[in-house]
A and B are shown apart, each in its own frame.
Chain A
Amino acid sequence: MKRLIELTVNGELHELAVEPQATLLDVLREQLGLTGTKEGCGTGECGSCTVLLAGRPVLSCLVLAMECQGQEVTTIEGLSVDGRLTPVQQAFQDRGAVQCGFCTPGMVLAATALLTENPRPSEAEIKKGLEGNLCRCTGYNKIIEAVKLAAESFNQK
């Protein structure tokens, strides 16, 4: 049976009728049309469905929409302000850390969460912070370079 939940997505409050078995990923993509969040595996292994829930990175394919009642969600669509990219997004672009782009929303959100918690990560910490995000194109080097660059621009501010 559908139930009503309140969900703040990228700063905007939505009232949504959701089925119990709908995941946060299902609702973001299918009810709200926010298709930036990707489904790779659906079972927690690839990280492409990563979003920030109350500021923390989670896998939207393994969270029920109902579990998020009253909470705040940030998806890739909610990062840039007036078309201005965040330092992480800009660094991914500048370093060529995007190829097919399927992993990119999850990577960018995981990297954003990492830098929020640890603004000066070592390379080992970057790898640990992104261990849950698979990329089948870049070979990861460009992504790690991008996170280092983003950390520099974070810290210059």
Chain B
Amino acid sequence: MHLPKFDYERLTSAEEAGRLLGRYGGDARLVAGGTDLFPRMKYGLLRPRVILDMKGLSVKSPEVNGDGNLRLGAMTSLAGLARDPLVREKAPLLAEAALGVGSVQVRERATLGGNICLETRCLYYNQSHTFQFTQACFKRGGDLCYLVPGGKKCLAVFCADTVPALISLGASIGIGGPGGVRRILLEKFYTGDAVQPLAISPTELVTEVIIPARPRIGGEAFAKFSVRGGVEFAAVTAAVALRMESDGATCSAAVITVGAVSPAPRRARKAEEALQGKRLSPELFGESARIAAGEISPLPHHGFSAPYLRECLEVQIRRALEAVAKRVRS
């Protein structure tokens, strides 16, 4: 399989990135690790005129700044994240989620920024369209859906593994562009529109990720369900972070983020509320997971039906909560 033709520019500084993005706009595509972009280009899903390679930009090592926040450069590789002692200490949930992405070889190239900017996926969209599904679907600029014939909009799902973990940790991102750098909560970066899933313009790029300091007493867990359990996008992911009272047994705040079942990652807010102020117990976990499965309607995707995913989601959240209970630090 060959890549289509394009011109290549290697970015060497943030200023140059800004200048070239401004010049080429929608004709250019940033490439970080290329593990999402190049397969899509090989399938013929997009054909940028210019590729702007970000690998010449300096990779900032993870660091903790004065207010205790962990700062990660967008170009950090997922393998590097999972190996980094500081990340493992300050954000083990992120290291765990990163280790679930693809394979050793994929994680070696794949970057955190690329994972955050992953395109939404669909069984019908993510393949070459030379003999099947030749008529363009919504995601390819057409006006039909192969998943739900007669459907009115695109139902591709957002499958990046690190994102539910980052959202549960309260992460924000820095976005650089012609007007300087803006910072937004990662949760606000996803539009919920499967065709344009990211709130970013073609002249901007994600530069860094900021994760607030861990609570003094608390714990986190990540669960990913897929059929083979390796080199596979998730059917469902769930990332849970609990903050605990000083007794180490009562939950003071919870964040539950679910991935892969909708065009944007979803918070299970009612399930979070059900945990607040309660003592952790197996019954409470079961109840919270049931509430989450009630409030989030999974889209069917990649051959999984919606009722099946709803059950998966309940099981994964319950297991993640049970895992947190075992890990609560005090």
Binds A, one of B33-41, B86-94, B275-283: B33-41
Which residues in window 19-37 of A have CB below 8 A to B? 19-23, 26
**Most chain A beta carbons < 10 A, residue from B2, B103, B230:** B103
Do the beta carbons of B4 and A57 come within 8 Å of each other? no
A63 within 8 A of B: yes
How far does the Cβ of A60 sit from chain B's closest Cβ, in whole Å? 9
Do the beta carbons of B8 and A64 come within 8 Å of each other? yes
Do the beta carbons of A113 and B104 come within 8 Å of each other? yes
Do the beta carbons of B8 and A57 come within 8 Å of each other? no
Q: Contacts A20-B6, A66-B53: A43 and B42 contacting too (C-beta < 8 A)?
A: yes
In the complex, what residues of A have CB within 8 A of residue B1's CB?
39, 41-43, 61
Q: Contacts A20-B6, A62-B109: A57 and B35 contacting too (C-beta < 8 A)?
A: no
In the complex, what residues of A have CB within 8 A of residue B200's CB?
none
In the complex, what residues of A have CB within 8 A of residue B62's CB?
none
Q: Contacts A44-B35, A45-B231, A131-B104: A66 and B8 contacting too (C-beta < 8 A)?
A: yes
B5 within 8 A of A: yes
Which residues in window 1-21 of B have CB below 8 A to A? 1-8, 10
In the complex, what residues of B have CB within 8 A of residue A61's CB?
1
A110 within 8 A of B: yes
**Most chain A beta carbons < 10 A, residue from B7, B8, B43, B55:** B8
Mark A102-139 against chain B: 1 for CB-CB distance below 8 A, else 0. 00000000100110000000000001110111000000
B108 within 8 A of A: yes
A37 to B7, CA, bound (A): 26
In the complex, what residues of A have CB within 8 A of residue B109's CB?
58-59, 62-63
Do the beta carbons of A132 and B103 come within 8 Å of each other? yes
Interface residues on B, range: 20 to 34
Interface residues on A, range: 35 or more
B315 within 8 A of A: no
Do the beta carbons of B8 and A20 come within 8 Å of each other? yes
Do the beta carbons of B105 and A58 come within 8 Å of each other? yes
Do the beta carbons of B104 and A132 come within 8 Å of each other? yes
A62 to B5, CA, bound (A): 15
A142 within 8 A of B: no
How far does the Cβ of B58 sit from chain A's closest Cβ, in whole Å? 16
Residue in A42, A127, A128 whose beta carbon sits within 8 Å of that of B42 in the complex: A42
Do the beta carbons of A132 and B5 come within 8 Å of each other? no
How far does the Cβ of B113 sit from chain A's closest Cβ, in whole Å? 16
How far does the Cβ of A65 sit from chain B's closest Cβ, in whole Å? 10
Q: Contacts A20-B7, A42-B1, A42-B42: A64 and B34 contacting too (C-beta < 8 A)?
A: yes
A26 to B2, CA, bound (A): 8
A121 to B43, CA, bound (A): 37
The residue in chain A whose Cβ has the minimal distance to the Cβ of B41 is A21
In the complex, what residues of A have CB within 8 A of residue B38's CB?
23, 43-44, 62
Leading 6 A-B pairs by shortest Cβ distance: A132-B103, A42-B1, A20-B8, A131-B230, A21-B3, A43-B39
- Listed by A's residue number, 10 A-B pairs whose Cβ atoms lie within 8 Å are A20-B5, A23-B3, A43-B43, A44-B35, A44-B106, A59-B105, A113-B104, A127-B230, A132-B104, A132-B105
Q: Could you list which residues of chain B lie within 8 angstroms of chain A, going by C-beta atoms?
A: 1-8, 10, 34-35, 38-39, 42-43, 51, 53, 55, 79, 102-106, 108-109, 230-231
Q: Can you add 5 more A-B contacts, CB < 8 Å, to A21-B4, A131-B230, A133-B103?
A: A44-B35, A44-B106, A62-B34, A113-B104, A132-B231
